[in-house]
């Protein structure tokens, strides 16, 4: 974001900060204001790294003294006027036309890229095209054609598969909207070890999301599984039961059961019953 002079710049001692969301996406970005007279869903104009944008208040104003992040806060430029809203709506109409033209040019030039989205900044000083591609794309001729037709600054941005899923959205295997398109602010690295820790079948296609990478929800319950497993015995733990030797061959954290077996028998016992067996062995 660029520094700007603005009468809404907050006083360091009694200013406010609030969350703003763009295009109804899940992530909120914080901006500062000199007063707290902003309502949820109220339209505001701000300047971001992309340029002037119209957003909606998603987090009510809070005292600036409680802001704890090290990231610099840029001020709200103004509450959106009717002209701002009209410009935004017209931009949305023109984005459809610009997207279609860009897609036509990509096909005409035979470029190995997949166009994802097209967005004008509020003041139309820039139009941003997002695309995905497997390899480097020489889009210099495309850039010239777009500039001569749209008569504004062109910004072509390559995005990853997770950002693509976030922008497009969809329904996850749980039947709910994708987490990345609703509330996730950051994409953490997800390793297969989380699936192992939760004792899931290592079927990569079933564990992959719309982006083709491991589903982000693997991290949500991972800490809970790690904590819960502390109550359970280790695999291959051996003990005596009913005058025979058994070993632990499986556990189920959700049902709180332990699978025990030997060469002649397989049983499922509750964790409470298993602990009683071990306690009895220790006393004998």
Model pLDDT for residues 13-64, shown as the tens digit of each residue: 578 999 998 887 667 889 999 988 999 999 999 999 888 999 999 999 999 9
Written as six digits, the tokens of 241 are 């039961």
Residue 169 maps to a domain: no
Is residue 127, in this structure, part of any structural domain at all?
A: yes
In eight-state DSSP terms, residue 177 is B
Starting at the edge strand found earlier in the chain, the sheet holding 257-261 runs 238-241, 244-252, 257-261, 266-270
Do 90 and 154 share a domain, yes or no?
yes
* Statement to judge: residues 108 and 67 lie in one domain: no
Interacting residues of 183 by C-beta distance below 8 A, sequence separation 6+ = 26
Task: Please indicate, yes or no, if residue 194 is contained in any of the structural domains.
Answer: no
Whether the CB-CB separation of 146 and 118 falls below 8 Å is answered with no
Among 133-142, 172-181, 194-203, the range with the most confident prediction by mean pLDDT is 133-142
The candidate with the shortest Cα–Cα distance to 180, out of 160, 194, 195, 203, is 160
Q: What is the pLDDT of residues 176-198, one digit of tens each?
A: 888 877 777 666 778 888 888 88
Number of domains the chain contains? 3
Q: Is residue 7 part of a domain?
A: no
pLDDT of 123 > 70? The answer is yes
pLDDT of residue 6: 45
Q: Domain of residue 110: give its range.
A: 86-159
* Token couple for 154: 């062109």
pTM: 0.64
- Pick from 28, 61, 80: which residue ends a domain? 80
Tell me the C-alpha distance between 250 and 253, whole Å.
10
Same-domain status, 91 and 151: yes
Whether residue 63 lies inside any domain: the answer is yes
| CATH number, domain containing residue 108 | 3.30.300
Look at 178-182, 258-262, 270-274 and tell me which has the smallest mean pLDDT: 178-182
Mark whether 56 and 97 lie in a shared domain: no
Domain for residue 134, yes or no? yes
Which residue, of 111, 137, 159, is where some domain finishes?
159
Q: Classify the C-alpha dihedral 219-220-225-226 as positive or negative.
A: positive
Q: Which residues contact 277 (CB under 8 A, 6 or more apart)?
A: 239, 241, 269
Same domain, 72 and 94: no
Closest-CA residue to 91 (of 34, 148, 152): 152
Q: Is residue 269 part of a domain?
A: yes
Specify whether 90 is located in the same domain as 148: yes
Largest CA distance in the chain: 89
Task: Write the pLDDT tens digit of every residue in 63-119.
Answer: 998 998 888 899 999 999 999 999 999 999 999 999 999 999 999 999 999 999 999
In this prediction, residues 228-233 reach a mean pLDDT of: 92
How far is it, in rounded angstroms, from Cα 179 to Cα 265?
A: 43
- Asked whether residue 175 is domain-assigned, the answer is no
One domain for residues 25 and 44: yes
- The answer on pLDDT for 8 being more than 60 is no
Domain-ending residue, one of 159, 177, 204: 159
């Amino acid at each position: 974001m660029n520094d700007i002079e603005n009468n809404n710049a907050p006083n360091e001692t009694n200013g406010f900060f609030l969350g703003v969301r763009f295009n109804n996406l899940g992530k909120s970005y914080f901006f500062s204001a000199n007063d707290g007279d902003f309502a949820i869903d109220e339209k505001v104009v701000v300047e971001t790294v992309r340029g002037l944008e119209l957003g909606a208040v998603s987090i009510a104003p809070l005292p600036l003294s409680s802001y704890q992040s090290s990231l610099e806060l840029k001020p709200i430029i103004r509450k959106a006027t009717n002209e701002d809203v009209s410009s935004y709506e017209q931009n949305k109409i023109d984005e459809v036309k610009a997207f279609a033209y860009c897609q036509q040019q990509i096909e005409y030039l035979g470029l190995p890229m997949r166009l994802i989205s097209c967005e004008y900044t509020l003041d139309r000083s820039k139009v941003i095209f997002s695309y995905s591609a497997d390899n480097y794309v020489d889009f210099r001729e495309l850039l010239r054609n777009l500039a001569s037709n749209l008569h504004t600054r062109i910004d072509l941005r390559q995005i990853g598969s997770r950002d693509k899923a976030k922008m497009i959205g969809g329904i996850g295997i749980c039947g709910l909207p994708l987490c990345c398109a609703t509330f996730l602010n950051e994409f953490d690295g997800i390793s297969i070890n989380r699936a192992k820790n939760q004792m899931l079948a290592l079927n990569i296609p079933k564990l992959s999301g719309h982006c083709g990478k491991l589903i982000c929800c693997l991290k949500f319950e991972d800490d809970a599984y790690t904590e819960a497993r502390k109550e359970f015995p280790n695999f291959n733990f051996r003990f005596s039961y009913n005058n025979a030797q058994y070993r632990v061959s499986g556990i189920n954290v959700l049902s709180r059961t332990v699978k025990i077996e030997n060469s002649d028998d397989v049983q499922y016992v509750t964790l409470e019953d298993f602990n009683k067996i071990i306690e009895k062995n220790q006393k004998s």
